[in-house]
Amino acid sequence: MSSILLLTSSPRAESLSTPIAVDLAEKLKSQNPGSVVVRRDLAANPLPHIDDLFTGAIRKPAEARTAEEAAAVETSDELVNELLAADTIVISTGLINFNIYSSLKTWIDNVARAGLTFKYTESGPVGLATGKKVYVVLASGGIYSQGPAAPLNHAVPYLKSVFGFLGISDIETIYVEGLAFGPEAAEKAIDAAKSRVQEIALAA
Ligand SMILES: Cc1cc2nc3c(=O)[nH]c(=O)nc-3n(C[C@H](O)[C@H](O)[C@H](O)COP(=O)(O)O)c2cc1C
């Protein structure tokens, strides 16, 4: 059974990234009968920020953790299992101060776990979350896929770095960009993203 992990991160009721990611996940599911969508609305249900207890607990083997430490990694373990079980990951975020929503960053901080999603070897770190495809729906006021503002797009290079570190290099970004350039430009951007979603779904 194929599993699609859907991570939405916008807190905005009028979010432009969320509906496109939801639509992509639903279309991928209908193209693959028997597949399931596991959704995490990271804005509506914020994950715990990593803290002193958590960072200490993940450095210990599970059997050496106190009850308090075990409780501190419980959610993270669940998130790691969801990530490892997924074949496809659909993520949505806005470009927020040139990077991702902090709710999504917290998810990343919870799933990047030595020994579970990556490991250290003599020849350097090796990702353990292999064999997955990631789609990132990125909404932004400006244009960052190309042109003069592209160097300010810290979201896509960051996501590529972190997923690459976890063993996932197959990443496609669906830009919903130029949303601040008037209603016509916004409509064009949304239509372009919807068309790409349609193409991806048909090819799935
Ligand atoms: C706090 C905040 C910071 C933002 N920072 C940027 C930015 O750095 N660059 C940009 O082009 N748009 C920026 N925007 C616009 C958002 O990227 C845009 O509204 C996008 O649609 C947000 O995604 P969402 O609709 O899924 O919430 C920002 C919006 C907010 C609310």
CATH number at residue 104: 3.40.50.360
Cα Rg of the chain, angstroms: 18
pLDDT score of 1 more than 80: no
**Count of structural domains within the chain:** 1
Q: What pLDDT is recorded for position 105?
A: 98
Confidence of residue 179 (pLDDT cuts 50, 70, 90): very high
Q: Which domain holds residue 121?
A: 3-203
Q: Which atom of ligand 1 is nearest to the CA of 14?
A: 25
Would the pLDDT of 37 be above 80?
Answer: yes
Percent of the chain topping pLDDT 70: 100
| 150 touches ligand 1 (CB under 6 Å) | no
Q: Is the pTM of this model over 0.85?
A: yes
Ligand 1 atom index nearest CA of 93 = 26
Dist. CA 177 → ligand 1 center (Å): 10
State the pairing for strand pair 3-8/118-121.
unpaired
> Distance between CA 6 and CA 93 in Å, rounded?
12
Q: Is the CB of 97 under 6 A from ligand 1?
A: yes
Taking CA atoms only, the protein residue closest to ligand 1 atom 1 is: 96
Answer whether residue 204 shows pLDDT above 90. no
